[in-house]
């Protein structure tokens, strides 16, 4: 029997959590990962070596790897001392090194994938760095993925530079061949939309006859999606990419304990409201249920339950 082909588009912690669950099922996975990060170790390597930022790619490679736990831990190890070394993760340095050796970021990812016995393909949305900008509702423009959520203003739209950005051909092919396309979970404006705004990516998703599902975030994100309901997340996707990007949405409808809500409130985050009627008016098939669990008082998507919901669509 042919394995179903699942393409997942995103970045950040949410994507890695989902992929750890999805890889336990007999499916072909392709993860298309953002290259807009400009903070921390990734930002430093990006600026100093003129390479795409490796951080999100590193996390996804680790999530899909099938190696001894010690090797995974080594790949994620962050140096705390050393002049110039402090703050870097070994995985970021390895990705920078293999990019220098091969002369090509995507090829470097492919080589590291073999070493880590990665289950599936990890592809950058573009094979070069992109810069994310946000126009705020008051007209000001903020440059830099890491700066956008810190400004504390409502985002009107995000856009990319340089003007000419070439999508990775393998990413386009993966979308064309997909049985199911998954968008999210992850930071709406700084992890998900930077992928979809790469020319060709959103258009190919919209043209695809595959089931297309958006996994809605459970909590709002301060400086990015304050006061957003589930439908506001979808509306942002439509405003940036046009209609037809998704036809299903997975939304958590599980009650969150008050002590967890209080903890998140300290960071300015509240549960995303599930507004079913408005979602259905957007011609979306709504899949709602208990899709979360808790780890060290942090809310995480239950990767297995979400994966099962995705597989029913594939």
What pLDDT does residue 258 have? 93
Strands 292-295 and 285-289, by their bridges, are: unpaired
Percentage of the chain modeled with pLDDT above 90: 88
d(CA 261, CA 264): 5
Dihedral sign for Cα 48, 53, 55, 58, please.
negative
> Which among 157, 154, 131 has a CA at the least distance from the CA of 144?
131
Supply the DSSP symbol for 149.
G
- pLDDT category at 254 given cuts 50, 70, 90 is confident
Within a 10 A sphere around the Cβ of 85, how many other Cβ atoms?
Answer: 12
Mean pLDDT (whole number) for 76-103: 93
Token duo for residue 193: 């939309």
Domain spans of the chain, in order of start: 4-34+159-313, 39-124
Question: What's the CATH code, domain 4-34+159-313?
Answer: 3.40.50.10680
Mean pLDDT (whole number) for 244-248: 96
In this predicted structure, the answer to whether residue 173 has a pLDDT above a threshold of 70 is yes
pTM: 0.94
Task: For helices 40-49 and 55-64, give the axis angle rounded to 10 degrees.
Answer: 120
Q: How far is CA 223 from the centre of its chain?
A: 18
Of the listed ranges 13-17, 74-78, 174-178, the least confidently predicted one is 13-17
- pLDDT category at 108 given cuts 50, 70, 90 is very high
In this predicted structure, the answer to whether residue 82 has a pLDDT above a threshold of 90 is no
Give the CA distances from residue 183 to residues 33, 66, 89, 192, in Å, rounded to whole numbers and listed in that order. 11, 24, 27, 7
In this predicted structure, the answer to whether residue 187 has a pLDDT above a threshold of 70 is yes
What pLDDT does residue 1 have? 63
- pLDDT category at 198 given cuts 50, 70, 90 is very high
Cis before 162 (ω within 30)? yes
- pLDDT category at 118 given cuts 50, 70, 90 is very high
d(CA 8, CA 202): 13
What residues have CB less than 8 Å from 4, skipping those under 6 apart? 27, 28, 179, 180, 311, 314
Mean pLDDT (whole number) for 40-58: 92
* CA torsion angle 252 258 260 265 (round to 10): 100
Angle, alpha carbons 166-167-171 (nearest 5°): 160
Tracing tokens 């930002």 back to the chain, one arrives at 43
What pLDDT does residue 296 have? 82
- pLDDT category at 264 given cuts 50, 70, 90 is very high
Helix (H) or strand (E) holding 303: helix 303-313
């Amino acid at each position: 029997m042919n394995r179903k082909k699942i393409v997942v588009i995103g970045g950040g912690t949410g994507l890695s959590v989902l992929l750890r669950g999805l890889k336990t099922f007999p499916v072909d996975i392709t993860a298309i990962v953002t290259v807009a990060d400009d903070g921390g170790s990734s930002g430093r390597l990006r600026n100093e070596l003129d390479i795409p930022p490796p951080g999100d790619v590193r996390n996804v490679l680790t999530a899909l790897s099938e190696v001894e736990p010690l090797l995974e831990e080594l790949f994620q190890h962050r140096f705390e001392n050393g002049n110039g070394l402090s703050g870097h993760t070994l995985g970021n340095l390895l990705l920078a090194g293999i990019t220098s050796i091969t002369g090509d970021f995507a090829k470097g990812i492919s080589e590291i994938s073999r070493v880590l016995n990665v289950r599936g393909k990890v592809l950058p949305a573009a094979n070069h760095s992109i810069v994310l900008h946000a126009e705020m509702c008051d007209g000001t423009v903020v440059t830099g993925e890491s700066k956008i959520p810190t400004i504390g203003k409502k985002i009107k739209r995000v856009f990319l530079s340089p003007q000419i950005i070439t999508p990775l051909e393998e990413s386009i092919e993966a979308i064309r061949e997909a049985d199911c396309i998954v968008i999210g979970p992850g930071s709406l404006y700084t992890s998900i939309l930077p992928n979809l705004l790469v020319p060709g990516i959103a258009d190919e998703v919209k043209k695809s006859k595959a089931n297309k599902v958006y996994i809605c975030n459970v909590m709002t994100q301060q400086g990015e999606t304050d006061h957003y309901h589930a439908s506001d997340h979808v509306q942002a996707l439509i405003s940036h990419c046009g209609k037809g990007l998704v036809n299903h949405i997975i939304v958590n409808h599980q009650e969150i304990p008050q002590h967890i809500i209080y903890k998140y409130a300290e960071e300015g985050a509240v549960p995303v409201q599930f507004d079913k009627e408005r979602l259905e008016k957007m011609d979306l098939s709504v899949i709602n249920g208990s899709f979360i669990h808790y780890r060290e008082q942090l809310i995480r998507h239950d990767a297995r339950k979400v994966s099962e919901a995705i597989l029913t669509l594939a």
